């Protein structure tokens, strides 16, 4: 069963970039996601795979503090598939 949180996030595979962080624990998923977002173009979509369940709270907090857009996540077994959009400016 696939659990979806927030309003319907983008479809799997729709990101401009895919970042696979499975096997990494806090704080590495947030650190690596933040660095990847910084290197992306404005408005690009980052899709992140992680099995650290803390990203469900950490990624929205990251976006709130940096101005990026949190688009939600899909729970796929132990994997959290998250979607973040790089800020426009």
7-35 pLDDT tens trace: 789 999 999 999 999 999 999 999 999 99
In contact, 50 and 24? CB cutoff 8 Å: yes
Predicted pLDDT of residue 18? 98
H helical segments located in the chain: 28-38, 55-66
Is residue 35 classed as helix, strand or coil in its secondary structure?
helix
- The top-level CATH class assigned to 2-85 is alpha beta
Predicted pLDDT of residue 4? 43
Give the mean model confidence (pLDDT) for residues 76-84.
98
In contact, 37 and 47? CB cutoff 8 Å: no
Domain ranges for the chain, please list them. Answer: 2-85
Give every CB contact of residue 38 below 8 A, 6+ residues apart in sequence.
none
In contact, 67 and 58? CB cutoff 8 Å: no
> Would you name the residues annotated as active-site residues?
26
pLDDT, tens digit, 9 for 90 and up, residues 44-72 = 999 999 999 999 999 999 999 999 999 99
């Amino acid at each position: 069963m696939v659990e979806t949180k927030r309003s319907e996030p983008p479809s799997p595979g729709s990101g401009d970039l895919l970042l696979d962080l499975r096997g990494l624990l806090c704080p590495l998923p947030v650190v690596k996601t933040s660095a990847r977002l910084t290197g992306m173009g404005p408005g690009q979509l980052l899709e992140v795979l992680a099995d650290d369940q803390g990203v469900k709270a950490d990624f929205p907090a990251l976006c709130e503090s940096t101005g990026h857009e949190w688009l939600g996540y899909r729970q796929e077994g132990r994997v959290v598939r998250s979607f973040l959009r790089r800020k426009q400016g």
